[in-house]
Amino acid sequence: MSSTTTGGSGAGFITGAGGGTGATSTSSGMGGMTSSTSTGTPSVTEDPKLGPPYPVVLCHGFFGFEELAGIDGLTYFYNVPERLAEDGETLVYTPAVDPFNSSDYRSDQLIDIIENDILAETGHEKVVLVGHSQGGLDARAVASKRPDLVAAVVTVATPHHGSPVADIALGLVEDPASAAILDAIVQVLGGPLYDQVGDETSIAKALYLFSKPGIAEFNAKYKDSPGVFYASITGRTDNSLGGQDCAADVELPWVDAWKGEKDPTDPLFSVFEAMLDGGFAGTVPNDGLVRAADARWGEFWGCVPADHMDEVGQLVGDEPGLFNGFDHEEMFSEIVKMVRKKGY
């Protein structure tokens, strides 16, 4: 887990305040405050939890990482924490969870990090979760399991209603023996690249989550929590302007600024994009992996001209298509500003 403090990554950020009046002296720590009164009787009380603005937690997607292969600067949300730091957002965290697993499993990992690391260090009551792709499902599961820890969830290109790409891929590994072999290969080969890969890692479980039956089970199990704000945004590629599938619930100037921009299909996504279109002549708005209609959840903010990797600045800061002015750093900056305007 890392956090930004003055524009870079660090081991953490600790904040808090303590004090006393009269004959009371205090010493403050991350877990609570110990007081001794003038009568000499010791008592223990908890520090009051800090309110908004809450720490921002960026939740990575499938295949995600904090630093790939331990290489400094090779991060999933490329340059995003640094950009947010320039905006004055000094409590931004990018925790790593198992890159290949279900959101049941990954959300438990996130809850442990949020509760025992981020909130314990900062003294805040809650966090804001911003999830890309599967990271959005992880965030929803966290908010459903522990709404006391979450103020808002914003998802970016998250397959809330599944993805046909996963149904096709899952069909290739439906045989339990094939799935077990695939998981074993990922566990062996993924270790040098992903610190979180372990015996529980399962790419088959992740693919099932994105499938039609898997996402139906997920949505039935993890309902939205009434006290949590939910919003979503997604990308569009294949030179699509989005149409009705990208119609926003709320018109935002920073999304409208890219309304006329088009993103040509990256060769990496050409086959997947055709699958989502229903053929190479199809025109279903999508970002190369997730259809726009499947990414809508909560208050929908529309579509930006970006494919699934452009949305987080991958590969390693690669620019979007020719003549496309989309800027992923600006998008995340505006997302956090929107959350702040809403009081979180």
Q: Which DSSP string corresponds to 180-218?
A: HHHHHHHHHHHTTT-TT--TT--HHHHHHHHSHHHHHHH
Residue-level pLDDT at 236:
94
Which pLDDT band, with edges at 50, 70 and 90, does 23 fall under? very low
Average pLDDT of the segment spanning 234-263: 94
Helix 203-210 vs helix 176-190: angle between axes, to the nearest 10 degrees? 120
26-40, 70-84, 94-108, 242-256: which has the minimum mean pLDDT?
26-40
Which pLDDT band, with edges at 50, 70 and 90, does 74 fall under? low
DSSP string covering 278-336: TSTT----BSSSSBGGGG--SEEEEEES--TTGGGTTTTT---STT----HHHHHHHHH
Which pLDDT band, with edges at 50, 70 and 90, does 265 fall under? confident
Using H for helix, E for strand and C for coil, what is the string for 16-69? Answer: CCCCCCCCCEEEECCCCEEEECCCCCEEEECCCCECCCCCEEEECCCCCCCCHH
Q: Which amino acid is at 90?
A: T
Find all residues with CB under 8 Å of 189, minimum gap 6, and list them. none
pTM of the model: 0.79
152-161, 212-221, 274-283: which has the minimum mean pLDDT?
274-283
Which pLDDT band, with edges at 50, 70 and 90, does 311 fall under? very high
Residue 12 CB burial class (10 angstroms; 0-12, 13-18, ≥19): middle
CATH superfamily, region 56-162+213-341:
Alpha/Beta hydrolase fold, catalytic domain (3.40.50.1820)
Cβ proximity of 211 and 165 under 8 Å: no
How far from chain centre, in Å, is Cα 81? 13
Phi, psi of 261 (to 5 degrees): -80, 145
Q: Return the closest-CA partner of residue 139 out of 77, 82, 56.
A: 56
